[in-house]
A and B are shown apart, each in its own frame.
Chain A
Amino acid sequence: MSITLGVLLIGSSVGLIGLSLKSFNSVKQHLQANSLMRQTAEVIISLTQDNWHSTYDLTKATNYKISASGNTWSISSGQEISTINSIPYKRYFQVANVNRDTSGNITASGTDDPSTQKITIFLEYGNNYLSSSTLSFFLTRSENNKTLHQTDWSGGSGQTGPISNPGNEFDTSSNINHASTTGQITMTTATTTPAELVSSILDAGVSDGAGFNSLLWQGAFNTGGSVKFQIAFSNCSNGASNYPTCNTGTWTYYGCTNCDPTSCSTSNYYQPNPNVSCRFPTTGTASPQNYRYIRYKVSLSTTGTSPTVYDIIINWSP
């Protein structure tokens, strides 16, 4: 009887221990999988924050892997196939474009937003890679927000650029009073004929192109005044359209009526109220996304007194 009981108890105990070991091994695999997924996510986020193009420039829906060399992580094509703690795994990720609707919300349809990408990480692990897991998230080009800000034009015309900080000068102007009061521009003669000021060529310094987010100005319309903007952009410092040869074309100015990114052309203008952001389009010929150089043209006109402009700001992300 003792032997029978002993065999039963020990037998069932061995069975339970075997089950536990198998289960613990499974837990170990899954926990390790989570760590690997999280590591991949953090590396991708870090590399993207450092340089948007490190993920944006990748071919969409194609497998990529992260790899470490010394103290530096990098991205290359293919899958990472390795073993850690005796657990084999395949790890890779894909990048996808993201669309937004006219309100700027992420949607399945709509227009492409080159400043937003969807990352999906894949992990296959365990014997014969039978277990798998995915992790998805969105990244936006919102790190290290910067502005090209001009609040003084008293230095006068003649500074074509390119220049990273416009300082107090600009390229050309007509009927613009920039010197009477430091820190503002008005019309020299108040008239319905537009007075214009063309800025220097502003250099974002991002060789693969920056993300230009919005236009903002501070000032006042005054009585009957109008303030309108257009922007021109290029990867060539001379405004040419055939980068990198840069010998064809010149600066072409675009605007969008009512700041509507679907209503843009060379004959339209950005006309936001003072202190109201006007977002730039993300697609089409009027989109300044992923260009290095940008410049603005501001037009003042009035049926009464001249409008006053104190600040012109272009919000951008490297």
Chain B
Amino acid sequence: MFHYKIKNFRKGVAALITVLSLGGLIFTISMASAIISFWANQNIKSIRDSNKAFYAAYSGLQDALIKLERNKDFTGNFNLSVNTTNDVYTIVSFSSGQVTITSTSTLSQINKKLQTKADINATTGLITPTSTTELTL
């Protein structure tokens, strides 16, 4: 009788250990999955804002280019409202016959910075973009 109880007790302990081990493992994996998906969901807004900020900064480059085609000596900086008021800040500067346009957009703590370099013909004012790149912040 005593041996029978001992045997059952051992079986119960073994079952408990098995359940705890397997269940814990499954629970841990599930919890990790839940945490990762929660984190990914949180980042969706950042990705969306990043997309919006990118094209807002691109708008600044576009605006600067037409301003230069209308006034080859246009220089300085200006604000542009694309997603929110004055969310794009663009700087136009000259150096050695080349103009550099740097446009920075800010949206919900996401910043995007794009830069276009262009040659300007000294006689005709013809604008020829040579590169457009995204700069790291």
Binding site for B on A (CB under 8 A): 1-3, 5-6, 8-10, 12-14, 16-17, 19-20, 23-24, 26-27, 30-31, 33-34, 37-38, 41, 45, 104-106, 115-116, 133, 135-142, 145-147, 149, 213-214, 216, 218, 276-277, 279-280, 311, 313, 315, 317
Contact = CB atoms under 8 A, between A and B. Distances in A.
Closest 6 CB pairs of A and B: A9-B23, A142-B65, A23-B37, A16-B30, A279-B70, A140-B66
B4 interface: no
A131 to B, nearest CB: 10
B124 A24 contact: no
A4 B59 CA distance: 61
Interface in B41-98: 41, 44, 47-48, 51-52, 55-56, 58-59, 62-63, 65-73, 78, 80-83
B29 to A, nearest CB: 8
A140 B101 CA distance: 15
Contacts of A20: 30, 33-34, 36-37
Nearest to B58: A137
A12 B124 contact: no
Contacts of A216: 72, 124-125
Nearest to B20: A5
Contact of A2 (B16, B34, B58, B78): B16
A279 B37 contact: no
Chain A binding site: helix, strand, loop or mixed by DSSP? Answer: mixed
19 contacts: A5-B23, A9-B23, A12-B27, A13-B26, A16-B27, A16-B30, A16-B34, A20-B36, A31-B47, A34-B48, A34-B51, A136-B55, A145-B126, A147-B125, A213-B66, A216-B72, A276-B73, A279-B71, A315-B72
A33 B34 CA distance: 22
Contacts of A10: 23, 26
B135 interface: no
- State which size class the interface on B falls in: 35 or more
B34 A213 contact: no
Interface of B: 12, 15-16, 18-20, 23-24, 26-27, 29-31, 33-34, 36-38, 40-41, 44, 47-48, 51-52, 55-56, 58-59, 62-63, 65-73, 78, 80-83, 121, 123-128
Nearest to B35: A20
Contacts of A277: 70-73, 125
A23 B39 CA distance: 10
Contacts of A6: 19, 23
Nearest to B68: A142
Contacts of A106: 63, 80-81
A213 B126 CA distance: 11
A101 B47 CA distance: 34
A24 to B, nearest CB: 5
B123 A218 contact: yes
A16 B18 CA distance: 21
A34 B24 CA distance: 37
B62 A139 contact: yes
